[in-house]
Structure 1
Amino acid sequence: MADSIRRAMQDIDLGFHDAPISLPVEVVRQAAEENRFILIGRPVMPRKQNLRALIATMPRNWGLEGLVRGRIIEGRRFQFVFPSEEAMDTVVRRGPWAFADRMLVLQRWTPLMDMAMLNFIPFWVQIRGIPFQFMNRDVILHIAREVGQYIQMDYNEEAGSRLEFVRVRLNWNIGQPLRFQRHFQFTPGVNTLLRFHFERLRGFCESCGMLTHDSGACLIHNGGQGNDGDDDSEDDAPENDAPGEQG
């Protein structure tokens, strides 16, 4: 309580009306140059994913230890600063990523970034069960847009009839439960069951499909005992380093 009061006291506007201070142009330019290539992210289960361990571990998992700098920022979020766009794009292409067996939200940061993007994880999703007589890009596109936020498609028209599945890349809203099966009607009144396999998926609630909590914290499973969500009271508390796992 005392710490909260002391922090709140420093939120008053002393100094707000003082004359602004201009920083040297070259200093600002150099700082902007060093921070051009940034990924910003957040854990989907903050209580299970230690931020200090996360920023120490992920560069090693990417094979970029000593080249990528990680830092914890406000709101239980983190950033990784890359030496080049190529290195950053390689990490993005190899994603999505997990830490401590739970998924991470990881998006490219820009000064004008819509922070709502930190609610989305881009997954490659395999769609299985589309009848071959209906297999084409338009059908796949319509299915993908019904399932999630469409990004791109990996489909070869010539090889389509020989594939066990097609792949689409979707931005998945972590506020929505995963769905691995859905009925679609290619012919009115006739249900066809399609199955969806999320590549590189780790850690989700097996009761409701949410990425943001385990089954032990699920209202459906056991009335919600426990809590995997944020706890603002821990924002300024030191975090114990703990080993993590990468998926």
Structure 2
Amino acid sequence: MARHEDIEMQLAELDIDGEENEQLVFEEGVDETVNKFELCLIGRFLTEKTINSRAMMSKMADVWKPAMGINIKELDTGVFIFQFYHNEDMRWVLNGGPWSFDNAMLVMETIPLGVEPMKVSLWHLNIWIQIHDLPTGFMSEIVGKQLGNFFGEFLEYDPKNNSSIWRECMRLKIRLDVRKPLKRKKKITRKNGGDFIVNCKYERLGEFCFICGLVSHTDRFCRRFLDKRSESAVKEWGVWLRAPPRRAVGQQKSKWLREENDGEWETRMGRSNDIPPFPEKAKNGGREIFKIWIRMGKALIER
């Protein structure tokens, strides 16, 4: 049996640091080209409040309705990983934002190959904005790109929003840095002289600070307000930055209300192309209109 002194001497001679620093090469069994997070999104909510994780998971699953289901886990306080089971489900959620829970906006990103989820930067939000008060002639995509890069980083121009005979606003998708205040307006100078100001509204904008313009907190948690609590805080941002819903929630659209360039409206309504239109002017004291009504009624009955 070895003496106690001998054991201590043997331990002292061991080169632990040298053994730990020796290279260990794995020749098989490792595939660094596989991204196990290929169908996952990492996200966090922009809020100082505590998120009710269980309620959030249930709510977001109900809102997204992924065809193949979804698994949500909290990796750290306020940071969640969203695992999908089909690429189309993940793509729809990623492109359909911005999303929010309890009025707190959700920042989401894909997880690149070889990057740990908790190391993914979560500082940018893709959001649709509306540019109002643009004069006629300034509704082009070229102008939209310049404005998009001013209010954020330009991503997409919505050409369908400009199909109406009366274009109320320009619609753009931008990438927003949530560490910067929301931009509200921009002064533009014409080449031939004269200035005008365009105003920006944000679609589906959740809670944000009316004092500093950041979307990461509300007035109550604003450092600018807390540092000057004895003074009256000036609110230079407001609810007017929120764009109204594009379609009223829960309100059904009348079947008689026809959109511009809707070529299928007559088919859906059971109208036939061989039915003559109303004449521009009534003839013979209105008898011509009465005859057309009779013909339309017979045509509909025969159908």
TM-score by length of structure 1 reads 0.70
Amino acid at match of 2:206: R
Q: Does 1:155 align with 2:159?
A: yes
| Cα deviation digits, residues 162-202 of structure 1 (max 9, x gap) | 31111111110000111232322234763312111211111
Which SS does the other structure have where 1:90 is aligned? helix
Q: Does 1:164 align with 2:168?
A: yes
Distance apart, 1:50 and its partner CA = 4.0
| Cα deviation digits, residues 59-99 of structure 1 (max 9, x gap) | 23212398211122247422111001100011122211111
**In 2: Cα distance, 1:20 partner to 1:195 partner:** 60
Partner of 1:142: 146
Distance apart, 1:161 and its partner CA = 6.1
> Alpha carbon RMSD of aligned pairs, Å?
3.6
Partner of 1:9: none
TM-score by length of structure 2 reads 0.59
> How does 1:199-210 map onto structure 2 within 5 Å?
199-210=203-214
**Aligned partner of 1:186 among 181, 187, 190:** 190
- After superposition, the Cα gap between the structure-2 partners of 1:109 and 1:220, relative to the gap in structure 1 and judged at 3 Å, is same
**In 2: Cα distance, 1:198 partner to 1:158 partner:** 18
Gaps of 5+ in 2: 1-16, 230-303
Which SS does the other structure have where 1:111 is aligned? coil
Partner of 2:200: 196
Amino acid at match of 2:221: A
Which SS does the other structure have where 1:177 is aligned? coil
**Does structure 2 retain, via aligned residues, the 8 Å contact 1:41–1:107?**
yes
Distance apart, 1:48 and its partner CA = 3.6
Partner of 2:258: none
Identical-residue share of aligned pairs (%): 22
Partner of 2:181: 177
Which SS does the other structure have where 1:134 is aligned? coil
Deviates more, 1:181-190 or 1:71-80: 181-190
Structure with the bigger percentage of strand: 1
Gaps of 5+ in 1: 1-12, 226-247
Partner of 2:236: none
Deviates more, 1:156-165 or 1:55-64: 156-165
Which SS does the other structure have where 1:98 is aligned? strand
Partner of 1:122: 126
Partner of 2:81: 79
Partner of 1:218: 222
> How does 1:82-97 map onto structure 2 within 5 Å?
82-97=84-99
**In 2: Cα distance, 1:102 partner to 1:23 partner:** 47
Distance apart, 1:24 and its partner CA = 7.8
Which SS does the other structure have where 1:133 is aligned? coil
